[in-house]
């Protein structure tokens, strides 16, 4: 079973079709990158997969389930987590509290056990805390656990978002331009993190601009242009495909890759 299956997915905003008849699939255990020029519909695609927006037509299947009519929280419940292009974190809360927020789907205690502070409740809270700290450790933020997320350096804020997304122990992680604003050195660190996440059993779907990262880290790549899928497959084939080269002609990133 493919973890994500898109069949003829289209999203239209009035007369503008942001995503046109896209068909692709993401397999378990791979790192799947979506690339394309600005405005090619990549983020919209993520919104459709994660349930933030409904499709205009076509089917989206996440972890075997048709997500038609499902809002983001239901899709998240299936086992999908995501980050956003403009990093979204709870700035007023500490990094640890952000990670804890991500534990929501694994909460087993209710209103009354919280009120009565039962032994079960206290044990569960300790468990959540431990898991959250584990994840912060895994993304390299353990020493910043008590720092307010808004005060964390910009380069690391993306990691806070990733930690939050990982805290729900998803099977599928969607990352929207995680290298946004990162310097060369930091990009290497992120590549390493992505591999480690994949090794832990999480399938990753990635929107990226930096070709170096895409080439080195991806198992498969899909290329969007003007909302349509122009090519998909293994990196070597896709990145040398003449349609892809044409779509990217003149882009500095590609020239550097």
Contact set with other proteins (CB under 8 A): 50, 52, 71-73, 76-77, 81-82, 84, 88-93, 97, 100-105, 107, 109-111, 114-115, 117, 121, 125, 128, 164, 168
Q: Which is nearer to other proteins, 59 or 88 (CB)?
A: 88
> Judged by CB, which is closer to other proteins: 164, or 211?
164
Q: Which is nearer to other proteins, 50 or 218 (CB)?
A: 50
- Taking the complex as a whole, the smallest distance from the CB of residue 175 to other proteins amounts, in Å, to 13
Question: Is there a contact between 194 and 83 (Cβ–Cβ < 8 Å)?
Answer: no
Distance in Å, CB of 162 to other proteins, minimum: 13
CB of 36 to other proteins, least distance (A): 23
Would you say 33 or 87 has its CB closer to other proteins?
Answer: 87
Nearer to other proteins, 177 or 232 (CB): 177
Please say which residue, 87 or 218, places its beta carbon nearer to other proteins.
87
| Least gap, CB of 77 to other proteins (angstroms) | 6
Residue 179 near residue 191, CB atoms below 8 Å = no
Smallest gap from Cβ 50 to other proteins, in A, equals 6
On whether the CB atoms of residues 152 and 92 are closer than 8 A, the answer is no
**Least spacing, CB of residue 132 vs other proteins, in Å:** 11
Closest CA to 22 of 60, 65, 75, 52: 60
């Amino acid at each position: 079973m493919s973890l994500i299956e898109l069949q003829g997915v289209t999203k239209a905003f009035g007369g503008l079709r942001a995503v046109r008849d896209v068909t692709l699939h993401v397999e378990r255990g791979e790192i799947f990158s979506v690339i394309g020029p600005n405005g090619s519909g990549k983020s919209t695609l993520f919104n459709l997969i994660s349930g933030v927006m409904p499709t205009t037509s076509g089917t989206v299947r996440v972890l075997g389930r048709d997500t038609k009519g499902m809002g983001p929280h239901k899709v998240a419940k299936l086992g999908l987590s995501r980050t956003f292009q403009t990093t979204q974190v709870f700035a007023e809360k500490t990094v640890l509290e952000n990670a804890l927020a991500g534990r929501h789907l694994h909460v087993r205690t209710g209103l009354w056990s919280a009120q009565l502070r039962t032994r079960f409740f206290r044990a569960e809270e300790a468990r959540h805390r431990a898991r959250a700290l584990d994840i912060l450790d895994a993304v390299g933020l353990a020493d910043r656990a008590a720092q307010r997320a808004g005060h964390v350096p910009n380069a690391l804020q993306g990691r806070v978002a990733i930690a939050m997304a990982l805290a729900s122990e998803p099977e599928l992680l969607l990352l929207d331009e995680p290298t946004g604003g990162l310097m060369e050195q930091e990009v290497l660190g992120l590549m390493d993190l992505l591999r480690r996440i994949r090794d832990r059993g999480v399938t990753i779907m990635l929107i990226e601009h930096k070709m170096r990262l895409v080439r080195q880290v991806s198992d498969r790549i899909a290329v969007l242009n003007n909302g349509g899928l122009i090519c998909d497959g293994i990196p070597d084939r896709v990145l040398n495909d003449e349609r892809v080269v044409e779509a990217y002609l003149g882009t500095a990133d590609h020239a550097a890759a």
